[in-house]
Structure 1
Amino acid sequence: MLHVLNHAGASREAEILRSMFHARKRVFVDLLKWDVPVLGDLYEVDQFDDAHATYVVLTDEDGEHMASARLLPTTRTHILDGLFPDLCEGDIPRGPQIREITRFCLDRRLVARQRRAVRNQLVTALAEIALGQGITTYTGVADIGWCQQILAMGWRCTPLGLPHLDGRKMIAALAIHIDDETPKRLQDAGVYAMPTVVRDVSLPGDLSHA
């Protein structure tokens, strides 16, 4: 089930967000050893998890987190301009039609087959949300391995600068361009897989809303 949420939601949505923040802690802190804030030893929450953030969350039928991503507006401080501005050789992309994708998270409890299927659904949802809401560009910061995976998914991408060494890994900034051909590119790469149940999402096309 696909949800698009913010911090102003009802109690059911708050439960989904708590499940997401807990999953982020298990992935980014426990597994990947990121040096990021942890709330109450349970939830990974940083300074960008505020009223301006939008969360794209996939859950199972019980509302448990399966995958998620955070979208940040680029018209205010976000990760690229606030933490990694040196990754851009030119101007940092900003504007009302540009969002930054952060915290792309696949739940650790998923087995390999589930991870691929859920990843494809989340990628597809991000593309369709962009088309439905007039978003023309996603920006992001990722390590080189993840950048290569993004390219393999069929996105049309532009590097924003040369990779930099961050600790023990190379990271880079990139722009993902969204247009009417994006869904076909994802289909050609074998990635397009729209979730069957959608809640509170602005999407084009003929979709069944629960």
Structure 2
Amino acid sequence: MLHVTGSGACPVPDAVMRAMFAARKRVFVDLLKWDVPVLNGTYEVDQFDDAHAHYIILADRDGGHLGSARLLPTTRPHILDSFYPELCEDAPPRADDIFEVTRFCLDRSQTAQERRTVRDTLVAALADHALANGIRGYSAIAEMGWLQQILAFGWRCRPLGLPVPVDGKLLGALAIDIDPDTPRRLAAAGIAPRPDLLEGKSLAAA
């Protein structure tokens, strides 16, 4: 089931939100060893998880977390401009219709094939969300392995600068352009969403 937060969107159950923050802790803190805040030893929550953040969440019928992503308005402080502006050759993208994709999270309880399906569904949901809400593009930061996957998804995207070593990892920033042809391009590149996971909540009015 698809849940989307934001002004005018259907309210997301508290249990679904808690499951997302708990999954983020398991992935980004327990698995990837990120040095980020943890609330009550269970939830990964940082300073950008505020009233301005939007979330796209895929959950099972019981509200269990499958995958999620956080969208931050680039007209406000966000991760790229606040912490990693050196990843951009020019100034980081900033506009009302450009959002930063962060905390792209796939639940660890799934098999590799299940994570692939949820990944594809979440990517498709990001494109659909943008088209439904007048978002013309996303920015993102990723380590090289994940960045190369993003570039291969089929949508129009481009690096914002050369990769830079940060704390022993090679990070890069990129811009993703969204237009009416994006869903077709994703499908042509093999991004195959699971239709039943996209049921439930409207993508409009974020």
Per the normalisation by structure 1, the TM-score is 0.92
Following TM superposition, the consecutive aligned residue runs of length 4 or more in structure 1 with deviations greater than 6 angstroms are 7-11
CA distance in 2, matches of 1:195, 1:38: 33
Structure 1 residues 7 and 67: CA distance shift in structure 2, 3 A = farther
The aligned counterpart of 2:13 is 13
CA distance in 2, matches of 1:156, 1:181: 10
Contact 2:5 2:11 in 1 (8 A): no
The aligned counterpart of 2:25 is 25
Contact 1:59 1:65 in 2 (8 A): yes
The aligned counterpart of 1:148 is 148
1:15 maps to amino acid: A
1:67 and 2:73 equivalent?
no
Contact 2:74 2:96 in 1 (8 A): yes
1:102 and 2:102 equivalent?
yes
Greater Cα offset, 53-62 or 82-91: 82-91
Contact 1:154 1:188 in 2 (8 A): yes
SS at match of 2:36: coil
The aligned counterpart of 1:206 is none
Deviation at 1:11, TM superposition (A): 8.1
The aligned counterpart of 1:46 is 46
Contact 1:7 1:51 in 2 (8 A): no
Deviation at 1:175, TM superposition (A): 0.1
SS at match of 1:141: strand
1:122 maps to amino acid: L
Contact 1:85 1:92 in 2 (8 A): yes
Structure 2 gaps of 5+ residues are none
1:176 and 2:169 equivalent?
no
Deviation at 1:198, TM superposition (A): 2.9
Number of paired residues? 203
CA distance in 1, matches of 2:203, 2:175: 23
Task: Give the aligned CA root-mean-square deviation in angstroms.
Answer: 1.9
The aligned counterpart of 1:82 is 82
- Structure showing greater relative contact order (alpha-carbon pairs closer than 8 Å, 6 or more residues apart): 2
The aligned counterpart of 1:208 is none
Contact 1:183 1:192 in 2 (8 A): no
Give aligned-pair identity as a percent.
57
1:40 maps to amino acid: N
The aligned counterpart of 1:198 is 200
